[in-house]
Amino acid sequence: MAPLQELAKEYAKARRDKKFRQQVAYYLREYVGRPTPLYFAERLTRELGGAKIYLKREDLLHTGAHKINNAVGQILLAKRMGKSRIIAETGAGQHGVATATVAAMFGMECVIYMGEVDMARQALNVYRMRLLGAEVRAVTAGQRTLKEAISEAMRDWVTNIRHTHYIIGSVLGAHPYPVMVRDFQAVIGREARRQILKHEKRLPDVLVACVGGGSNSIGLFHAFLKDKGVRMVGVEGGGRGIKPGDHAARFQKGGSLGVLQGTRTFVLQDEDGQIMLTHSVSAGLDYAAIGPEHSYLRDAGRIEYSYATDPDALAAFQYCARVEGIIPALESAHAIAWVQKHAKKLGRDAIVIANMSGRGDKDVMQAAELMKL
């Protein structure tokens, strides 16, 4: 509890500190590349024959995904706290790359924990992290994916709390992490709100984003939560189908209220509270729990949650590449899959913003093998 209490206290001070906020804004603008465009996907809109589709282009950020927003905020906080060593977990590798990047920029020691299975399917990102000077430690316990990587990072942190800061990559873990990560990612929605009002002179009808832990989605949704006319859809990893061990959709069959890794939220678990195996073609969505704010907003009826299966996501991955010339991350392809299915039903008068949370360079070889390209 001691490092969590220290972190909560320091973050409460930092978020009120104008100089700290200006620092974060400076690096997001000058180093990361914000603001990102809100791009009207003209051909995608025409081909699907329904709603007007905009893509929030987080894939254009330095390191290739939204993860850098949070990494910048947290490393500035770590520096403020006098920490000299950074650790993180990663699934798809994008958070690991973002963390290794900011650690290199500030000259800090960096260790990244990654499941052995994820290291194999995200080999490019493993090399990128090592090139940036980070030590990547393979986790061989359990399912050898994101859940086990988080556990190992937590063990490291409680052993080395005096000089180490743990940069959690999503809206997970104990307080203040879900709030802190959401705050750093909320820039996505603030920008999207300003941009759509400029482009269309009104708010969108639907926001769509993939949901693993849920940082890119809550980042997009947060600025619109009070706008009752804006529908919000989170798309989970449906894997091979909604059967035990075959998916990572926490709000579908097998999901119930529980506790995992410091978070009370919806968890894929059996009747005895044992965590179920999960599966998704996307390493970033392959996790048994979801951010607690998502559970709250789902129970409150503010956000609805759907899922896309592996075949849906792979089809959307290829479709988006061929229709718009944009290769999405497999995570983001889950959101595009939802848009493919629903754009026509929404009608031509509707406006949809889909969060392109990351680019698909990291997934090309895996997708090529799975799709026999």
Q: Indicate whether 306 pLDDT > 90.
A: yes
State how far the Cα of 55 lies from the Cα of 181, in Å rounded to an integer. Answer: 22
Residue 2 has pLDDT above 90, yes or no: no
2-30+66-181 and 33-64+186-371 in the same fold: yes
Model pLDDT, residue 107: 97
Report, as an integer, the average pLDDT of 37-59: 98
Mean pLDDT of 157-182: 96
Q: Find the helix or strand (DSSP H, E) in which 46 lies.
A: helix 42-48
Among candidate residues 287, 209, 217, 213, the one with its CA nearest the CA of residue 247: 287
Q: pLDDT per residue over 106-127, tens digit each?
A: 999 999 999 999 999 889 999 9
Considering all CA atoms of the chain, what is the largest pairwise distance in Å, rounded to the nearest integer? 57
The pLDDT-based confidence of 17 (bands split at 50, 70, 90) is very high
Encode pLDDT of 254-288 as tens digits. 899 999 999 999 999 999 999 999 999 998 999 99
Q: Where are the domains of the chain?
A: 2-30+66-181, 33-64+186-371
148 catalytic, yes or no? no
Q: Which of 52, 56, 58, 67 is catalytic?
A: 67
Reply yes or no on whether 357 is catalytic: yes
Could you give the C-alpha distances from 12 to 5, 18, 47, 363, 370, in angstroms and in order? 11, 12, 47, 37, 46
Q: Which of 89-98, 140-149, 175-184 has the lowest mean pLDDT?
A: 140-149
Would the pLDDT of 373 be above 80?
Answer: no
> Is pLDDT of 146 > 90?
no
Answer whether residue 220 shows pLDDT above 90. yes
- What are the tens digits of pLDDT across the range 51-94? 999 999 999 999 999 999 999 999 999 999 999 999 999 988 99
Per-residue pLDDT at 253 exceeds 90: no
Closest CA relative to residue 307, chosen from 368, 356, 222, 240: 240
What is the rounded CA–CA span in Å between residue 282 and residue 161? 32
Nearest residue to 168 via CA among 73, 80, 56: 73
pLDDT for 154 beyond 90: yes
Residue tagged active-site, from 52, 56, 83, 89: 89
Look up 236 and say whether it is catalytic. Answer: no
Query: Spelled out in words, what is the top-level CATH class assigned to the domain 33-64+186-371?
Result: alpha beta
* pLDDT value, residue 222: 98
Spatial neighbors of 162 by CB under 8 A, at least 6 apart, are: none
Percent of residues, the chain, with pLDDT higher than 90: 94
pLDDT band at 184 (very low <50, low <70, confident <90, very high): very high
Average pLDDT, the chain: 96
2-30+66-181: CATH topology is: Rossmann fold (3.40.50)
